[in-house]
Chains A and B, each alone.
Chain A
């Protein structure tokens, strides 16, 4: 089955700096890579996703990159703000198949 590794497990950045979270996956057939944000005490919510036919996707201050050859994908957050503090999960799936999550990265943005 699919295995998703995520790092770092914790990340602290100064407000205004960039944050990068990296994930690798094992199943070369995976074709959908979402990122979820979970604020303290709340449900995970999708913030951005990318499909295997795309190398990069941006949405305002967040971007995701995908390297299919290396089976790596990354989340980039620029100009971080205190409200970006949360746990971020990467995930991978094959179309309608089950979604496999990474262990999560706890991001702390220091004002």
Chain B
């Protein structure tokens, strides 16, 4: 069954701790993305990667880091430098052009205590 798997679904962390969110896809997609979803603010792009070993900052990259060592995996680390990390995080992937459709994971909800 192909798709995108995010884990964990819920995560709690204390202030000052780094946390890594996992995103794995078996769709053989080249591009992968991380979005942050906050009420009333839509989906904002954190980082994206179009190919293995390459990634670019999105609109709100400060306080986040990523890696793309494998085509299937694009983990996101929320560092202690992120001022307001409590949010819902969505990972997505897409094939090369021309389709452009994003396939989303089920999301990870991070709460900082």
Taking a contact as CB atoms under 8 Å apart, the answer to whether B41 and A103 are in contact is: yes
Against B, the Cβ 8 Å flags (1 = close, 0 = not) of A39-77 are 000111110010000000000000000000000000000
Main secondary structure of the interface of B (DSSP, over half): loop
Q: Chain A residues near B64 (CB, 8 Å)?
A: none
Count of A residues near B, CB < 8 Å?
A: 23
Of listed B100, B101, B106, residue having the most chain A CB within 10 A = B100
Cβ contact within 8 Å between A93 and B100: yes
For A32, list chain B residues within 8 Å (CB): 100
Give 1 or 0 for each of A72-108: 1 = CB within 8 Å of chain B CB: 0000000000000000010001011011111110000
Which of A1, A43, A93 counts the most B-chain CB atoms under 10 A from its CB? A43
A residues within 8 A CB of B59?
1, 100
| B102 and A89 within 8 A (CB) | no
Q: Which of B31, B42, B97, B101 contacts A103 (CB 8 A)?
A: B42
A interface residue numbers (CB < 8 A to B): 1, 6, 9, 32, 34, 36, 42-46, 49, 89, 93, 95-96, 98-104
